[in-house]
Each structure stands twice: as C-alpha cells, then as structure tokens.
C-alpha cells in the first residue's frame, strides 16, 4: 500500500508528464539510503528539473543534478526520487540493480 506522500509524488510525476513511474520498497535491501525509490523518465534535462522542482515545492528536500544532468535525484530522506533521461535510465538500470525490492507501483503493472 502506498503512503499518501508517495501517492502525491506519483501524481506530480503524472501531472508533469513523467513516464514509466515505478515505486520500489528498498528497506529490506539497503535501508541506509532510504525506504523507497520512486523512479521516472523525462524527455529533456529541463523536464527532469521541472519535475524535481515541483516535488521539492510540495515536500522540501534536496535536488542533486543540474541543467546538463541526465539523472536528477530528489532526496526527501526516506524517499529518494530518481528522474532519468531514457538512455541514462537504461544505463543505470536501478530496477535491475534493486531487482529484489518489492515493486509497490509500476505504470506497466498498476499497483501491486
């Protein structure tokens, strides 16, 4: 079950035309870096930053990555949002790297 905060993040990503949104529960795998990963794809670096800025406007947090970044991270403490350009998402393959994590939400699969 998704928390209200994660539901709102997913909603923001959809409103901002983020694609292929996935939510992973990483607590059993690597609790030191957070509880949840939210991962989405954007089309340009400006698009990634726009999504990140909307999330930080709602929740605070810290944005890592800038105008020329193909991977922008929003650190909300227990929730880490990863925003990628398509090639960077394929290259870093976080869903594969954290393949043992529970998928709580996937656009492809719906809520699990």
Which residue bears the tokens 């890592």? 64
The 10s digit of each residue's pLDDT in 30-73 is: 878 889 999 999 999 999 999 999 999 999 999 999 888 999 99
Give the pLDDT score at 110: 64
Mean pLDDT value across residues 88-112: 88
Could you give the CA distance from residue 58 to residue 53 in angstroms, rounded to a whole number? 9
For residue 112, pLDDT over 70 is answered with no
Give the pLDDT score at 50: 97
For residue 75, pLDDT over 60 is answered with yes
All domains in the chain, ordered by first residue: 4-111 (3.30.460.10)
Give the pLDDT score at 11: 96
Residues 6+ apart with CB under 8 A from 7: none
Residues 6+ apart with CB under 8 A from 51: 12, 13, 16, 18, 40, 42, 72, 83
């Amino acid at each position: 079950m998704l928390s209200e905060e994660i539901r709102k993040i997913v909603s923001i990503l959809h409103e901002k035309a983020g694609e292929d949104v996935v939510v992973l529960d990483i607590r059993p795998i690597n609790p030191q870096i957070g509880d949840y990963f939210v991962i989405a794809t954007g089309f340009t670096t400006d698009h990634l930053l726009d999504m990140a800025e909307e999330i930080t406007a709602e929740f605070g947090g810290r944005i890592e990555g800038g105008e020329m970044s193909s991977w922008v991270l929003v650190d909300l403490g227990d929730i880490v949002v990863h925003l990628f350009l398509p090639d960077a998402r394929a290259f870093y393959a976080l869903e594969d790297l954290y393949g043992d994590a529970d998928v709580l939400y996937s656009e492809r699969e719906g809520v699990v």
